[in-house]
């Protein structure tokens, strides 16, 4: 039976030993291990649900809020979806050994650049127990050992899921230490994990700014931040307003407690007189609290045109507040601003955006291209919701998180992002002169 929870340094050393073996294991064995994990999740769903209820009850008693409870909650459908995600990862091409580039030098040396595993990946995450399995599956498929460190709010859920994954992986032929879980302790444990430079090759934190700051203060291991998402939707002057309304409502309300949900709506002044009352009506019906600038508030109460007057008259009560400092709300709260131009929208996003996902709604191709060029973010959308920023939606099976950095990966972190490269050089007695 695999030991899942153990002291940090011992765990990382075990992972390092496993990583050396994993790097050489055939694709078929890795895929069989993933299938075994998916099957075990279904067979042992009762254990997972029981453990999750312990965490949910503790969360309710601690009043952690609806958004965090939604992230924490597991049910049969969510467990089935997690298992299906594991199977999707198993069905993907193995990135290990994939040829990136190849050529022959003038001196006759053959040079190939191929993908290889990073080695040991530590994933630190908050509240989301599904990450335990998503991250483990992605790391195993890409030939990496994994050290998982979840939050105390999901202690029981993570322990159950980690135990299932570790046992199934070993039974299917993967080495002991391939999947490891360290208890969700305090800052001392986090600092210890972040300084295991001899055994851990990369840390991926998936959480808020406080986690990021805590790691930045102590980490000696390279860190790839799967950071928060302060995402915007900009409705351009030429936007088709039915389409804009559908995109805004989806981006804000489909699942408000996730990092790819929209937190700010920017509206061009030319379409604002018609669109502001209309979108406020829909946001109000969806229970969204709006933090609006003065121009938005003025348009909400304006009676300047028949369509606007009718929209406001039919609108249910929408909670309008004065605009505050922009933030990642992670609930049914949306900042709304009226801007004078596309360039003002791009500038606003550059100031407040977190580099995660940004969207424009427009029928103007020139405006769309200017937005794509001008906005510096991992994912930039034209006429689509920010909610699509997800490894599963992008065909990666799942993701560990969404990187807002530029090195070494950006956007959803999937199989290829969990690899580095090496050069394989072959000669025939070549010596340098």
Task: Give CA–CA dist 303/63, Å, rounded.
Answer: 42
Kindly report the average pLDDT of the chain as a whole number.
Answer: 92
Query: What's the pLDDT tens digit per position in 41-66?
Result: 999 999 999 999 999 999 999 998 88
Q: For residue 173, what pLDDT is reported?
A: 97
- Using an 8 Å Cβ cutoff, are 127 and 151 in contact? yes
Task: Give CA–CA dist 215/50, Å, rounded.
Answer: 32
> Which element (helix H / strand E) includes 69?
helix 66-72
Question: DSSP E strands: which ranges in 126-185?
Answer: 145-149, 179-182
pLDDT at 226 over 90: no
Task: Give CA–CA dist 152/378, Å, rounded.
Answer: 30
pLDDT at 306 over 60: no
Task: Give CA–CA dist 73/96, Å, rounded.
Answer: 34
Q: For residue 312, what pLDDT is reported?
A: 40
Structure tokens at 199: 């055994």
- Using an 8 Å Cβ cutoff, are 252 and 285 in contact? no
Helix (H, G, I), strand (E, B) or coil at 262: strand
Helix (H, G, I), strand (E, B) or coil at 361: strand
Classify domain 231-388 at the CATH topology level. Aldehyde Dehydrogenase; Chain A, domain 2 (3.40.309)
Higher pLDDT, 228 or 32: 32
Residue spans of alpha helices (H) in 196-293? 209-218, 241-253, 272-285
The angle, 0 to 180 degrees and rounded to 10, between the axes of the packed helices 8-22 and 187-194 is: 40
Query: What's the pLDDT tens digit per position in 183-195?
Result: 766 788 899 999 9
> Which element (helix H / strand E) includes 265?
strand 262-268
Q: What is the mean pLDDT of residues 313-322?
A: 68
The CATH number, out of the four listed (3.80.30.20, 3.40.1350.10, 1.20.1250.20, 3.40.605.10), of the domain defined by the range 8-226+400-426: 3.40.605.10
Range with the poorest average pLDDT among 225-239, 308-322, 358-372: 308-322
pLDDT grade, residue 3 (50/70/90)?
very low
Cis peptide before 408 (omega within 30 of 0): yes
**What are the residue boundaries of the structural domains of the chain, listed by start?**
8-226+400-426, 231-388
């Amino acid at each position: 039976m695999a030991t899942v929870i153990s002291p940090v340094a011992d765990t990382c050393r075990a992972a390092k030993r496993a990583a050396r073996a994993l790097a050489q294991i055939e694709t078929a064995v890795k895929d069989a291990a993933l299938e075994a994990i998916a099957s075990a999740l279904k067979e042992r769903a009762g254990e997972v649900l029981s453990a999750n209820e312990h965490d949910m009850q503790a969360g309710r008693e601690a009043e952690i809020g609806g958004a965090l409870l939604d992230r924490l909650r597991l049910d049969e459908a969510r467990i089935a979806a997690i298992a299906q995600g594991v199977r999707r990862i198993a069905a993907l091409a193995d990135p290990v050994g994939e040829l990136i580039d190849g050529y022959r030098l003038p001196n006759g040396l053959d040079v190939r650049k191929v993908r290889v595993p990073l080695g040991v990946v530590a994933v630190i995450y908050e509240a989301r127990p599904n990450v335990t399995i998503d991250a483990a599956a992605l790391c195993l498929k890409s030939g990496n050992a994994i050290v998982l460190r979840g939050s105390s709010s999901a202690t029981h859920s993570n322990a159950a899921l980690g135990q299932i994954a570790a046992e199934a992986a070993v039974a299917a032929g993967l080495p002991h230490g391939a999947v490891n879980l360290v208890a969700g302790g305090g800052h001392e444990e986090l600092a210890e994990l972040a300084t295991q430079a001899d055994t851990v090759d990369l840390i991926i934190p998936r959480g808020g700014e406080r986690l990021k700051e805590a790691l930045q203060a102590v980490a000696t291991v390279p860190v790839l931040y799967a950071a928060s998402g302060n995402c915007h939707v900009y409705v351009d002057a030429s936007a088709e307003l039915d389409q804009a309304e559908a995109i805004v409502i989806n981006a804000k309300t489909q699942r408000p407690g996730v990092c790819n949900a929209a937190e700010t709506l920017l509206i061009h002044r030319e379409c604002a007189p018609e669109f502001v009352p209309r979108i406020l009506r829909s946001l109000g019906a969806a229970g969204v609290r709006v933090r609006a600038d003065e121009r938005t508030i003025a348009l909400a109460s304006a009676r300047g045109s028949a369509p606007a007057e009718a929209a406001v008259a039919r609108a249910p009560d929408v909670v309008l507040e004065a605009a505050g400092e922009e933030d990642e709300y992670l609930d049914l709260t949306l900042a709304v601003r009226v801007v004078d131009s596309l360039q003002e929208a791009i500038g606003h996003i550059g100031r407040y955006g977190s580099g995660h996902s940004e969207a424009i709604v427009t029928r103007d191709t020139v405006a769309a291209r200017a937005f794509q060029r001008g906005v510096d973010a991992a994912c930039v959308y034209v006429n689509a919701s920010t909610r699509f920023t997800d490894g599963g939606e992008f065909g990666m099976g799942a993701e560990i998180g969404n990187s807002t950095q530029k090195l070494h990966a950006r956007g959803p972190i999937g199989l290829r992002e969990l690899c580095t490269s090496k050069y394989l050089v072959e000669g025939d007695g070549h010596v340098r002169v």
